[in-house]
Amino acid sequence: MNEIKIFSPATVANVSCGFDVLGFCLDNVGDEMVIKKTTEKGVKITKIVGANLPFETQNNVAGVAALAILDAANADFGVEIEIYKNIKPGSGIGSSSASASGTVFAINELLGKPFNKQQLTLFGMKGEAVASGTEHADNVAPGIFGGFTLVKETTPLKVVQLPTPSELYATIIHPQIEIKTSEARAILPKDIPLSKAVKQWANVGSLVSALHTSDYDLIADSLNDLIVEPYRSQLIPHFDEVKAAMMNSGALGGGISGSGPSIFSLSKGKETADKVADAIREVYSKTDIEFDIHVSKINAQGIKIVKN
């Protein structure tokens, strides 16, 4: 195989109660990438469509991720990378991670699949660090593993793959405003009440159990974030109205996607997810903020090969 085209999906990190730990993968929102072997070693970004991103390998998420995996494999070839962005940078649904995880997935295929998913996640994290400043797996892992993931630890990396209930759909609104990750971090308290932390880990535990048993009622009961959402939601205009509209339309629950500004919800069945989309469209249509809305099945497979 000398060339591969892949689809690298958007992902939702944090997932309400699962701050810094949980994530899931979308199905129909994502970038495409074409990666070609070259006889010359090294990594060249040859094409970027749909976003204004740096072409210099060392400054590009995909470039750095590619170097990490090629170096670890001691590869006797280089690559040229074409990036077709559909996920808007800064949307909070894993735009940079999609470039990083897509790259390492594709190159692993070109190499003959020497690396497992934990290893691919580590290479992807190197790329992700170019965009976010730190190596984290919150969005990389759901792309590589598919479905729901729990990043138990980052040093050493330990990703736990969780089951995906078959009728679970996400509805996401991306208000096109900018939230700096640094600001989203700074707004969080350093210390939190033990009593609230206990409730949060009760919710994380019951959400994980509910994913294993496809218990939609328990998923709904568990999607409560007592710690982070009260702070970060202040940075997102009309958050409370959107959340109320989601819940009133039958969503199981929702919250901030990553560090925002996107807001996600989970629903049982596409019909409800579509209703949720209509309701939140109505909220944001009354504002002068541009927005995108996505309705997607949860993607249990993760990154997909389009052509090889």
Smallest gap from Cβ 254 to a second copy, in A, equals 19
Task: Count the Cβ atoms, other than its own, within 10 Å of residue 162.
Answer: 18
Select which of 11, 128, 164, 229 is catalytic.
128
Taking Cα atoms as reference points, which of 99, 149, 101, 147 lies closest to residue 122? Answer: 101
How far apart are the two ends of the chain, measured CA to CA in Å? 7
* Max Cα–Cα distance, the chain, nearest Å: 59
Report residue 13 as tokens.
């990190």
3-state secondary structure of 84: strand
Q: Count CA atoms closer than 13 A to 193's CA, side-chain side.
A: 5
Residue whose token pair is 């702070």: 231
Q: Kindly list the distances between the CA atom of residue 193 and the CA atoms of 189, 196, 227, in Å, as whole numbers in the listed order.
A: 10, 5, 9
Angle at which helix 95-111 crosses helix 61-73, to 10 degrees, equals 30
Q: Dihedral sign for Cα 180, 17, 135, 144, please.
A: negative
Give yes or no: 183 in active site.
no
Strands 168-175 and 253-256: unpaired
Residues forming the site for a second copy (CB under 8 A) = 17-22, 150-153, 158, 160, 162, 188-194, 197-210, 212-213, 218, 221-222, 227
How far is it, in rounded angstroms, from Cα 243 to Cα 116?
38
User: For a second copy, which is the closer residue by CB, 76 or 191?
Assistant: 191
Give yes or no: 181 in active site.
yes
Instruction: Please give the positions annotated as active site.
Output: 128, 181
